[in-house]
Amino acid sequence: MALAAAGRVLLQAGSRLGRREVVDGARRFANKRVEVEADEAAGIAVMKLKNPPVNSLSLEFLTEFLISLEKLENNKNFRGVILTSERPGVFSAGLDLMEMYGRNPAHYAEYWRAVQELWLRLYLSNMILVCAINGTSPAGGCLMALTCDHRIMADNPKYTIGLNESQLGIVAPFWFKDNFVNTVGYRTAEHALQLGLLFPPAEALKLGIVDEVVPEDQVHSKAQSVMAQWMAIPDHSRQLTKNMMRKAMADNLIKQREADIQNFVSFISRDSIQKSLHTYLEKLKQKKG
Ligand SMILES: CCCCCCCCCCCC/C=C/CC(=O)SCCNC(=O)CCNC(=O)[C@H](O)C(C)(C)COP(=O)(O)OP(=O)(O)OC[C@H]1O[C@@H](n2cnc3c(N)ncnc32)[C@H](O)[C@@H]1OP(=O)(O)O
């Protein structure tokens, strides 16, 4: 119920943004920041993140992503989604730092609700989600991958993945932490979260952050073959199993959603946290020059 209501708000937000859908033979639809190649006969869609330069999860991106996902969820012909980046090299730079820096409390609250919504929708999706990680994927980018049922990462040592929040002077919220713990185990998560570690593909595979590492040019074909394997399982048994495994963790956020938003707003509004974000943003800029 809560999810449906939030979804309606996002749909309204989407129409406020005035995005026009481009429908190409009913097989491809796109808004500005998400491209969907939808093969209805096969029941599979490829969702490509395209929010240049680094696929950061801005409020507009989150809104467009959720609308695209909802379209697929509402069409019972679609059983599986492959999530990837339209720009190889960066899967997603995570949450958009500019949404969390120098804004007002109402904006922080709106943003955080959308971040929660993305996580809940992906984590509880009835569809099979396969993540084709074709680039670097820190923090919120890693979280998005962690919601998927299977993760394939390109074998490029330049790419890293992990929850690096503590390096920015911020804290991974409890549901980021829970999702990570459930994936890699408590000790690995405790160690990696405190140090804010980002792992290259081989290490990420060893720790279980990703399920497979394949040559870069094979990420998409591998994602298709993994999808075929998952599609061979009857939906009802797979979905019931997924729900059994995931519901408790999602419910834990749902029941304290408003408190989590308030925590985020008061945490991110602190002068000390804003200073940390400022320093980190400056560091990103200096890296360039
Ligand atoms: C008592 C306890 C209470 C606890 C309460 C808890 C409450 C919650 C706390 C808050 C939790 C918030 C959670 C946040 C999770 C996140 O996701 S934070 C984001 C983390 N992301 C990163 O650290 C990635 C940063 N970016 C990079 O490392 C690099 O950009 C890259 C490796 C992804 C790509 O490198 P490259 O291709 O060389 O591009 P750049 O030149 O670095 O960047 C281009 C351009 O993009 C800007 N940018 C990069 N990342 C972001 C981002 N995440 N958001 C916004 N903008 C970003 C970068 O600054 C450049 O901009 P300019 O061209 O200079 O304008």
pTM of the model: 0.93
Q: What is the pLDDT of residue 23?
A: 45
Residues pairing with 45 in the sheet: 38, 81
Active site residue 196: no
- Supply the ipTM of this predicted assembly: 0.97
3-state secondary structure of 71: helix
How high is the pLDDT of residue 287?
83
| Ligand 1 neighbour 171 (Cβ under 6 A) | yes
Tokens of 215: 């040559």
CA–CA separation, 202 vs 150, rounded Å?
A: 16
Give residue 121's pLDDT.
Answer: 98
For the chain, the helix, strand and coil percentages under 3-state DSSP, each to the nearest 5: 55, 15, 30
The catalytic residue among 140, 141, 162, 196 is 140
Q: What's the gap in Å between 94 CA and the centre of ligand 1? A: 6
**Alpha-carbon distances of 14 from 63, 78, 91, 104, rounded to whole Å:** 6, 22, 23, 21
Structure tokens, 53: 């330069």
Nearest atom, ligand 1, residue 260 CA: 7
- How is the beta sheet containing 150-154 ordered, strand by strand? 22-24, 28-30, 34-39, 44-49, 80-85, 128-133, 150-154, 212-214
CA distance 143 to 95: 10
pLDDT of residue 30: 74
Q: What would the pLDDT profile of 157-198 be if each residue is shown by its tens digit?
A: 999 999 999 999 999 999 999 999 999 999 999 999 999 999
What tokens does 241 get?
Answer: 């199993």
* Residues in the chain with pLDDT values less than 70: 1-27, 289
> Ligand 1: does its nearest atom lie under 6 Å from the Cβ of 43?
no
140 is catalytic: yes
Q: How far is the CA of 53 from the centre of ligand 1 (A)?
A: 11
> Which tokens is 49 given?
């993140």
Instruction: From the candidates 94, 164, 168, 193, give the one annotated as an active-site residue.
Output: 164
Query: Would you say the CB of residue 90 lies under 6 angstroms from ligand 1?
Result: yes
- For every residue of 131-144, DSSP letters joined together read EEE-EEEETHHHHH
Q: Is 149 within 8 Å of 242 (Cβ atoms)?
A: yes
